[in-house]
Structure 1
Amino acid sequence: MVFRQIALLLFMMAGTNLHAQEYFEKQYAGVWQRSLSYSKAVAEAMPAERYRYKPTEEAMSFQRQWLHIADNISMLTARITGDRKAFYNQEDASGFAKAEVLNILDSANNYVLDLIRNASASQLNETIEFGGVSMTKENIFYLLRDHQAHHRAQCLVYLRMNGVKAPDYVGW
């Protein structure tokens, strides 16, 4: 009897892991695409002349928020691929126009989308150490989305502080 219960528990646990893996393989690319489309809509909403707006001296500007997202994508995807991709030259960042920032954001987000679409199950299940925590490489993809949502939310506040209508929310 106990053997059956243990076997059933192990079967259920394996099924849960398989379900999570299937979710990533079948649905996460679509989730990422919707997220990056929403980010692009938020980034496009701010008029070009307000791209350097920041609510306080210590805060990142609207432009810097988006470049920070690209920087984070560079750093975190290196944890997945072992290769750190630069999406722009840091020394040129202060002179970027709105169109250049949008192109950088597109490039960085499409790079992640390509990694999502081409990730193998074995790669996703690889365990790495990040920030003192042991996690799978799949978790890095979720961290990428969470980080972008955090800074996109700050940009939404910046839009409202400038009287710019924010794009309607896009979720799952």
Structure 2
Amino acid sequence: MNISRKNALKSLFGTLIGLPALAKSDDKKDLLGFKDEFSAAWKSSLDYTLKIFNQMPEDKFEFKYTPESFSFRTQFVHCITFTTSQICGRLNLPNPYDEKEKQNGYWAKLSKTELEAELKGFYAWVEKTVMETKPDKLAQMEVYAGDKIPVWRLLYALENHIIHHRGQAICYLRLNGVTPIGYIGW
């Protein structure tokens, strides 16, 4: 098949003109795929978080390796409150923990079983929020760490923040003679 220079340039030009439209539709497709991917990773995160959380005996929940460090309990409370406030602030949602935060010492009074229930509720809230957020809102750009990133990337950054604190909790287990379970990936 012979193709003329003119027809080749028309094809190339047509392709270049059409790329932005394809990219836009691919972005929406990717955001729908993001929800499925995030959901699977989030469920795995919950599973691993609860396994680490439940390895610490309740009488060691206030353990700190230095006076200024978070307690074992606070590692998990911080994950709940920080992540929730970031999501609510950026998506303009009411924070489900505002009333609890107003109660003096709310988090410190919770038993291990009660805090585990809060963790499960938090993970369920994030899952529901992500699933109900429209693709255009997930694509919305937000300031983060001196840059601008879309909300969907921020959600991964927040999960990474949880990974950091879960890693801290693993060190707390070891410092208390508890051998952490092996890593559970996606």
TM-score normalised to the size of structure 2? 0.80
What is the root-mean-square deviation of aligned Cα atoms in Å? Answer: 2.3
Q: Which amino acid aligns with 1:139?
A: R
The superposition leaves residues 119-138 of structure 1 with CA deviations (integer Å, 9 ceiling, x where unpaired) of 22122112233454322221
Alpha-carbon offset, residue 16 of structure 1: 5.8
Alpha-carbon offset, residue 168 of structure 1: 2.1
Q: Which amino acid aligns with 1:91?
A: N
User: Which residue of the other structure, out of 148, 153, 172, is the alignment partner of 1:158?
Assistant: 172
Partner of 1:20: 30
Partner of 1:77: 87
Q: Identical aligned pairs, as a percentage?
A: 23
Partner of 1:44: 54
Separation of aligned partners in 1, 2:14 and 2:177: 63
Separation of aligned partners in 2, 1:120 and 1:45: 37
Q: Which amino acid aligns with 1:47?
A: P
User: Which residue of the other structure, out of 113, 132, 136, is the alignment partner of 2:127?
Assistant: 113
**Kindly tell me: are residues 158 and 94 of structure 1, through their superposed partners in 2, closer, same or farther at Cα, counting changes over 3 Å?**
same
Contact 1:73 1:108 in 2 (8 A): no
Separation of aligned partners in 1, 2:140 and 2:15: 29
Partner of 1:133: 147
Alpha-carbon offset, residue 24 of structure 1: 0.8
The superposition leaves residues 102-149 of structure 1 with CA deviations (integer Å, 9 ceiling, x where unpaired) of 122111111101112222212211223345432222122112211100
User: Which residue of the other structure, out of 29, 36, 49, is the alignment partner of 2:39?
Assistant: 29
Unaligned runs of 5+ in 1: none
Separation of aligned partners in 1, 2:36 and 2:76: 28
Q: Are 1:170 and 2:184 an aligned pair?
A: yes
**Kindly tell me: are residues 39 and 116 of structure 1, through their superposed partners in 2, closer, same or farther at Cα, counting changes over 3 Å?**
same
Partner of 2:113: 99
Aligned residues: 172
TM-score normalised to the size of structure 1? 0.86
Contact 1:80 1:140 in 2 (8 A): no
Unaligned runs of 5+ in 2: 1-8
Q: Are 1:53 and 2:63 an aligned pair?
A: yes
Greater gyration radius: 2
Separation of aligned partners in 2, 1:134 and 1:30: 26
Aligned to 1:91, the other structure's residue is in SS state coil
Separation of aligned partners in 2, 1:149 and 1:16: 29
